[in-house]
């Protein structure tokens, strides 16, 4: 092998090593941030706390209604810009899955029901929106919005997420919920 070819090969090897290191660093940072965001949430395997809330139409929904169903429980606030960005992702996934798993969202700022109703209309939210408050946020140990719990048919938390969920991330967590 000639000197120029050896230099070129060495350059490719060093570039590959550097890229691999960058990817590993990115993944480690991503996992660290995800861990930090979810560190105070209810643990996987834990039973979902009992609750009872009304939806925007006044219908009462409780944790008892969720028994035997796989559920994606999404907490958000009308003032949260990340929550507003995430709504179309949930709406499109809901239309894909319909009723299994069951999509339910809890708007934590229940004192702003007119704003929440307006957002439901404007964003085309087709899944139930429950009216929540600080008490339900404490019950589920929510400290950041949006926060999502993935619950199995036995009423146990399978996984949780905090922050923006990409379509791929939501699809993956929904797929994992099936097993």
Would you say 104 and 71 are in contact if contact means Cβ atoms under 8 Å apart? yes
Summarised one tens digit per residue, pLDDT across range 127-175 is 999 999 999 999 999 988 999 999 999 999 999 988 888 888 888 888 8
Pairwise CA distance, residues 115 & 39, whole Å: 31
Report pLDDT digits (tens) over 70-127: 999 999 999 999 999 999 999 988 888 877 899 999 999 978 999 999 999 999 998 9
Tokens standing for residue 160: 């949780």
Residues 6+ apart with CB under 8 A from 117: 56
Least confident residue range of 6-15, 53-62, 127-136, 157-166: 6-15
């Amino acid at each position: 092998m000639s000197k120029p070819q050896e230099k070129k090969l060495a350059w490719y090897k060093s570039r590959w090593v550097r890229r691999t290191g960058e990817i590993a660093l990115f993944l480690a940072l991503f996992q660290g941030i995800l861990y930090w965001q979810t560190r105070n949430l209810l643990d996987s395997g834990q039973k979902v706390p009992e609750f009872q809330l009304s939806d925007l139409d006044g219908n009462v929904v409780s944790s008892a209604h969720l028994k035997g169903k796989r559920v994606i429980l999404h907490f958000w606030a009308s003032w949260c810009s990340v929550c507003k960005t995430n709504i179309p992702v949930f709406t499109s996934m809901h239309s894909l899955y319909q009723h299994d798993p069951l999509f339910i969202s809890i708007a934590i700022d229940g004192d702003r029901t007119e704003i929440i109703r307006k957002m439901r209309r404007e964003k085309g939210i087709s899944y139930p929106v429950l009216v929540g408050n600080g008490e339900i946020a404490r019950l589920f140990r929510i400290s950041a919005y949006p926060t999502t719990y993935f619950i199995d048919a036995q009423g146990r938390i399978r996984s949780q997420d905090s922050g923006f969920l990409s379509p791929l991330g939501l699809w993956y967590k929904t797929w994992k919920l099936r097993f």
